[in-house]
């Protein structure tokens, strides 16, 4: 699988996301995803499935060292007194000594100053609890601010990104700061799988619309895509996106699908002022 190299991190360009997956679904699907070829797993404290993710990784038969594991600190744990404890609990649930990547989940939802959040993130990295650190759902200005505050290099900004949402400014800010971008909602809540333009492009390559949406993401410089499915029969399709290439014209057609109302998630109190 292709990897994105960023500030010392080698991140598989396609990850398996576990947002809105129950523990039962994780137990059933994640081991099969790893056996199908996924090597990047994304979870978070607020997903309430870290324990199932840890059990699934143990059960899958794939060596831990071959899996890039990400989790995120929830906003109620940003205070210094809570931050390290919450990460220790995540590691215990995940059955690992350290994760590969630890992110601050949202920029809002907490009165803790950004400098303190970044300081705590660096402290747990220095303690060996994570190999790499990053941010999630930050706008361009916040990305630059976080990078300037962090002693250790940040490696990604995880944001919503799919054909209906123009994230040019966020991506440019990440590239300027030397970060990758990790795209969640890559399937746009299922819209990608049924879109006429994506299906038409896919037919020229013998691929599905969903595969085209994922390929469009990972074909962009420094972009990582998170894919999620609760259907085991879809896993092989989702991972098979590295043996074809979209033309410049096809990429441009997909970029042109972006629209002003394309954003899916914008939680009040958590989200920033978007670019």
**Options 47, 138, 184, 185, the catalytic residue:** 47
21 contacts: CB under 8 Å, gap ≥ 6: 29, 47, 49, 228, 230
Quote the CA–CA distance of 110 and 270 in Å, as a whole number.
Answer: 8
* Residue 47 annotated as catalytic: yes
Report the SS3 class of residue 12.
strand
Quote the CA–CA distance of 118 and 31 in Å, as a whole number.
Answer: 33
Interior angle at CA 185, CA 180 and CA 191, nearest 5: 135
**Which pairs from 51-54 meet CB under 8 Å and 24+ separation?**
51/23, 51/93, 51/94, 52/23, 52/24, 52/26, 52/27, 53/18, 53/26, 53/93, 53/94, 54/93, 54/94, 54/95, 54/96
Active site positions, annotated: 47
């Amino acid at each position: 699988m292709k990897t994105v190299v960023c500030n010392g991190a080698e991140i598989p360009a396609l990850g398996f996301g576990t947002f809105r997956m129950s523990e039962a679904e994780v137990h059933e699907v994640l081991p099969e995803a790893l056996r199908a070829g996924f090597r990047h797993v994304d979870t978070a404290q607020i997903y309430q499935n870290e324990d199932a993710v840890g059990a699934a990784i143990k059960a899958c038969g794939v060596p831990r060292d071959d899996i890039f594991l990400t989790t995120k600190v929830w906003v109620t744990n940003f205070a210094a007194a809570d931050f390290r404890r919450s990460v220790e609990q995540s590691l215990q649930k995940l059955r690992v000594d350290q994760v590969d990547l630890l992110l601050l989940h949202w920029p809002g939802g907490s009165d803790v100053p950004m400098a303190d959040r970044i300081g705590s993130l660096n402290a747990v990295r220095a303690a060996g609890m994570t190999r790499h650190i990053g941010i999630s759902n930050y706008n361009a200005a916040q990305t630059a601010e976080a990078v300037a505050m962090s002693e250790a290099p940040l490696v990604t900004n995880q944001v919503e990104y799919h054909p209906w949402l123009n994230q040019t400014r966020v991506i440019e800010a990440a590239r300027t700061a030397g970060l990758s971008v990790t795209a969640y909602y890559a399937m746009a809540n299922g819209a990608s799988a049924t879109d006429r333009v994506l299906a038409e492009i896919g037919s020229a390559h013998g691929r599905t619309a969903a595969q085209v949406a994922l390929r469009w993401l990972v074909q962009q410089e420094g972009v990582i895509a998170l894919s999620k499915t609760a259907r085991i029969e879809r896993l092989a399709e989702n991972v098979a996106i590295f043996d074809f290439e979209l033309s410049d014209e096809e990429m441009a057609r997909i970029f042109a699908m972006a629209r002003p109302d394309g954003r899916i998630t914008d939680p009040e109190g958590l989200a920033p002022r978007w670019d």
